[in-house]
Chain A
Amino acid sequence: MADNDKIVAEKKEENRYYKWLASMIIPVLAVITGLLVGAIFMLAIGRDPVQAYIVLFNSAFGSLNGFAETLVNTTPLIFTGLAVAFAFRTGLFNIGGDGQFLIGYIASTWLGFFFQLPLFIHLPLALLGGMVAAGLWGGFAGLLKAKLGVHEVITTIMMNYIALYLVSYLTGGPLKASGFMPATPKIADTAKLMRLLPFGRLNAGFIVALVAAYIVYYILWRTTLGYEIRAVGLNPNAAEYGGIKAARNMILAMFISGCLAGLAGVTQSLGLEFRAYQPFGFIGYGFTGIAVALLGKNHPAGVVLGAFLFGILQRGSMLMQSIAGVPKEVIEIIQAIIILFVAAEYLFTLLSNRIKKYRKETSDVN
């Protein structure tokens, strides 16, 4: 029996390696299926899917400029994807990415135009200031959850609307630049993220995103905070038993998650727009971030890859529409299919775990 245990456990360990490979299979299959279903839709409306997909491919990989633009599209999705993934590791569902995005967006812009400082102070101030403001916004939802038990899904959704109308009011009123346009003044040059190429819009925000992904990895698997966060996320009862304060970790995790989503807004302002425009609605980076995290299995490396894929699709959809005459809704269908398949896999594993557990329980009884 003991030897048996050993063999079973050995097999399980071997499994870890091709489990990692296997974990890639479903996302890849989901993408392929998504593209195939997209092709069927294109055929149904009389468009040529092959041509459309060539356009899609070329939009990202056909030219250096195209590739750089794709990375621009990828940047905010890395941030919001990381935000969702990080909260999820604590067992929390941060749907507030869009609100935290807006808070980061407005706070960094204000810091950008209000102060006149040398670059090496001004840029970090605007970057970190915007980030922390969004972190506090997200952390507040964590506080409500930890202290009063209010569900974070409810609070983060509601705080999205508070953020939307707050930023709308600020950009249209107190922080509005003179003129007709409902937007803030432009930020100082000292607060701008530098461009990485002589052409196009690719900026240091992308580097910040990659650094953020590494930091998230480091926090989760190399620090005591990460250990505690993962323990709380996987088994709050055991964490509590081990003297880990779930409440403290929830607040902290939501703060960090808010910081990450906020950086999407910060780089939007400091790297691309250089001012904050009045929002008419949510851009939806927060929601796409959920899909990115799902696709990336809540792992920072997976999130970066997932964000890149969605970046390609988002940029490609515009070109597909103008060149191949394929409505950009087709791309949305493809995205939806991918999410559906990845989510279905979760459902599948959930189900098979249930069955295993049931079998185990019933055979344990003897």
Chain B
Amino acid sequence: MHEDANFAVEMINITKRFPGVTANDKINFQLKKGEIHALLGENGAGKSTLMKCLYGLYQHDEGQIFINGKKVEISSPNIAIKYGIGMVHQHFMLVPPFTVAENIVLGSEPTKNFMIDRKKTVEEVNSLSKQYGLNVDSQSAVQDISVGMQQRVEILKALYRGANILILDEPTAVLTPQEVDELIDIMKSLTDEGKSIIFITHKLKEVKAIADRVTVIRNGKLIDTVYTKDTTTNELAKMMVGREVILEVDKDKAEPGEVILEAADLYAKNNRGLTALNGCSFNVHKGEILGIAGVEGNGQSELTEVLTGLRKLEKGAVKLKGKNISSFSTRDIIENGVGHIPEDRQKRGLVLEFTIFENLILGNHYKFPYAKNGKMNYNKIKASARKLIKDFDIRTPSENVMAKSLSGGNQQKVILAREFARDPDLLLAAQPTRGVDVGAIEFIHSKLIEQRDAGKAVLLISLELDEILSLCDRIAVIYEGEIVDILEQEEATEEKLGLMMAGAENDKAKGDDTDGR
């Protein structure tokens, strides 16, 4: 019987199996009271599975869980909440038209005569928010507040339900660097008030900045639990991946040539009919990687779609090698030398129920030698597929395998192989490394630089600032559908970009503009 009450949570020998995989293999995990504990691992390592066992979303097959020294069976989130465990999911679960206060009390509303006691609701939420320095406006609608604020609402939701142990699932993925700093302050003040925090992440820098201790999981197995002050990011990376990782991208100075892509004053609407691109302008040169940095939802998706003919351009002009392609169809744009790695590989990039060889010709499928007079030549198609599988190190037994049975990294390599095989003059890479393992990230990065060094133009749209900072020769920051500014790699810092991404520089720049005129 464990009676060690120093631990808020103790998980012993947790094993969780899914058909065909062991997601957690005898994992031990201990959360001390009042500490911030990072759970580090690659995509699919088993971090979330472990936390879902703790939160009652999954039932572990073997092992035991102790909360404050007492053995517990957590069969549902309701029971987890009863034990004081709260979870903030990566994707928020809020009702957008409801106010902050309404969202926080949802499910456990204070009532008076069978009616919601609104006054009490607001009072309770305000005092809670004040206690932890969260500063939320309890009366505004969730749809009107920033993503960072929405995250605080989620944290308050957990606290309102009496959580003493908070699980934060990739909390920084949606935040600007400044918002991340604020989140760190909030987490610190929470632990000062006696709360214990587990945060799930795959970002090494954050672990160093936030956590007291870190537990590393790889392939469902516990690697180690260490004090962050006793370790380095390189060591952590090695533990996470299982081998030496080159964190720095090695590349020479760019030798930009003439302009390949000219985006002039682009306007476009999003799916809801609201303005998404609001006068967006930039150029991409031969032999350079231009990065587009920004917080998710500032027009990046629409920009990619406009450039590839998948979305209607309301106003403005797109010129490719001097030719106006604004009204070209997607096929014509491809024909004119544009390759596109789409941000959502499963939705856009692949037909999952197609085989690898069928996916490798998507967009080229009507061209010789793959087809002639409308008849497919599957011998040629398969031969070329086998070559691409080899060249791009796609891990598969054969070209006849369905795309859906490949891992995320290998799916991305299929797309990469296809787009590179076109030998495009302009490569549009939207979030090319999202959700792929570190090995594949290194590979994709080196391929992008290879493309640049071969004298092609590369436009990289990414939410990962690290990726942008290490790969790009010039960095454009997009905010609310506009390019705020374009910086050279040398002058760009995380802090500078962060401010611009949050729109701060934007207002200042505009002010300067009008002053100058």
Binding site for B on A (CB under 8 A): 1-2, 5-6, 8-10, 12-13, 16, 222-228, 230-231, 234-235, 237-245, 359, 362-366
Contact A243 B358 (CB under 8 A): no
B395: chain A residues at CB < 8 Å are 2, 5-6, 9
**Please, could you name 15 A-B residue pairs with CB atoms under 8 Å apart, sorted by A?**
A9-B397, A13-B398, A222-B378, A223-B376, A234-B353, A237-B348, A241-B340, A242-B330, A243-B330, A243-B333, A363-B18, A363-B49, A365-B170, A366-B51, A366-B170
Contact B47 A366 (CB under 8 A): yes
Q: 6 tightest CB-CB pairs across the interface, nearest first?
A: A366-B48, A243-B331, A366-B47, A242-B362, A242-B363, A12-B405
A359 to B44, CA, bound (A): 12
Contact A241 B308 (CB under 8 A): yes
B363: chain A residues at CB < 8 Å are 241-243
Closest to B371 in A: A224
Min CB distance A253 to B, Å, is 15
Q: Does B407 contact A (CB under 8 A)?
A: yes
Contact B400 A13 (CB under 8 A): yes
Contact A363 B334 (CB under 8 A): no
A226: chain B residues at CB < 8 Å are 376
A224: chain B residues at CB < 8 Å are 365-366, 371, 374-376
A237 to B344, CA, bound (A): 10
Contact B376 A227 (CB under 8 A): yes
Contact B43 A364 (CB under 8 A): yes
A231: chain B residues at CB < 8 Å are 351, 354, 362
A230 to B195, CA, bound (A): 54
Min CB distance A272 to B, Å, is 35
Contact B46 A366 (CB under 8 A): yes
A362: chain B residues at CB < 8 Å are 48, 52, 57
Min CB distance A244 to B, Å, is 8
A230: chain B residues at CB < 8 Å are 351, 354
A12-B402 contact in complex given A234-B351, A364-B43, C-beta closer than 8 Å: yes
B396: chain A residues at CB < 8 Å are 5-6, 9
A238 to B344, CA, bound (A): 10
Contact B219 A1 (CB under 8 A): yes
Min CB distance B42 to A, Å, is 9
B334: chain A residues at CB < 8 Å are 243
Majority SS at the chain A contact face: helix
A237 to B374, CA, bound (A): 22
Supplied contacts A238-B347, A242-B330, A243-B363, 10 more A-B pairs, CB within 8 Å: A1-B219, A12-B401, A13-B398, A223-B374, A224-B371, A227-B365, A234-B354, A235-B350, A241-B348, A362-B48
Contact B397 A238 (CB under 8 A): no
Contact B348 A238 (CB under 8 A): yes
Cβ 8 A contact of B48, one of A5, A8, A363: A363
Cβ 8 A contact of A238, one of B350, B366, B401: B350
A365-B406 contact in complex given A228-B365, A231-B354, A235-B351, C-beta closer than 8 Å: no
Contact B362 A366 (CB under 8 A): no
Contact A365 B169 (CB under 8 A): yes
Q: Does B349 contact A (CB under 8 A)?
A: yes
Interface size class of B (residues with CB under 8 A): 35 or more
A1 to B242, CA, bound (A): 11
Q: Does B20 contact A (CB under 8 A)?
A: yes
Q: Which of A1, A2, A10, A243 has the most CB of B within 10 A?
A: A243
Binding site for A on B (CB under 8 A): 18, 20, 23, 41, 43-49, 51-52, 57, 89-90, 169-170, 200, 219, 308, 310, 329-334, 340, 342, 347-354, 358, 362-363, 365-366, 371, 374-376, 378, 395-398, 400-402, 405-408, 410, 435, 437
A13-B397 contact in complex given A225-B374, A241-B348, C-beta closer than 8 Å: yes
A242-B405 contact in complex given A5-B395, A13-B397, C-beta closer than 8 Å: no
A108 to B353, CA, bound (A): 39
Closest to B202 in A: A366
A6 to B401, CA, bound (A): 11
Contact A239 B351 (CB under 8 A): yes
A10 to B352, CA, bound (A): 17
Contact A243 B329 (CB under 8 A): yes
B400: chain A residues at CB < 8 Å are 13, 16
A9: chain B residues at CB < 8 Å are 395-397, 401, 405-406
A181 to B90, CA, bound (A): 73
Cβ 8 A contact of B349, one of A228, A238, A359: A238
A365-B374 contact in complex given A12-B401, A231-B362, A238-B362, C-beta closer than 8 Å: no
Closest to B350 in A: A238
Contact A363 B23 (CB under 8 A): yes
Q: Which of A5, A235, A243, A366 has the most CB of B within 10 A?
A: A366
Min CB distance A356 to B, Å, is 9
A240-B330 contact in complex given A5-B407, A6-B397, A366-B200, C-beta closer than 8 Å: yes
A223 to B365, CA, bound (A): 10
Cβ 8 A contact of A366, one of B41, B333, B353: B41
Min CB distance B17 to A, Å, is 12
Min CB distance B366 to A, Å, is 5
Cβ 8 A contact of A235, one of B90, B200, B310, B352: B352
B402: chain A residues at CB < 8 Å are 12
Contact A366 B354 (CB under 8 A): no
Min CB distance B376 to A, Å, is 6
Min CB distance B461 to A, Å, is 15
Cβ 8 A contact of B310, one of A1, A241, A359: A241
Cβ 8 A contact of B435, one of A2, A225, A239, A364: A364
A226 to B366, CA, bound (A): 11
Contact A241 B342 (CB under 8 A): yes
A240 to B340, CA, bound (A): 12
A239 to B358, CA, bound (A): 12
Closest to B49 in A: A363
A237 to B346, CA, bound (A): 10
Closest to B358 in A: A227
A222 to B57, CA, bound (A): 47
Min CB distance A107 to B, Å, is 27
B47: chain A residues at CB < 8 Å are 366
Closest to A228 in B: B365
Contact A13 B219 (CB under 8 A): no
Min CB distance A296 to B, Å, is 18
Contact A223 B52 (CB under 8 A): no
Closest to B353 in A: A234
B20: chain A residues at CB < 8 Å are 8
Contact A364 B44 (CB under 8 A): yes
Min CB distance A213 to B, Å, is 19
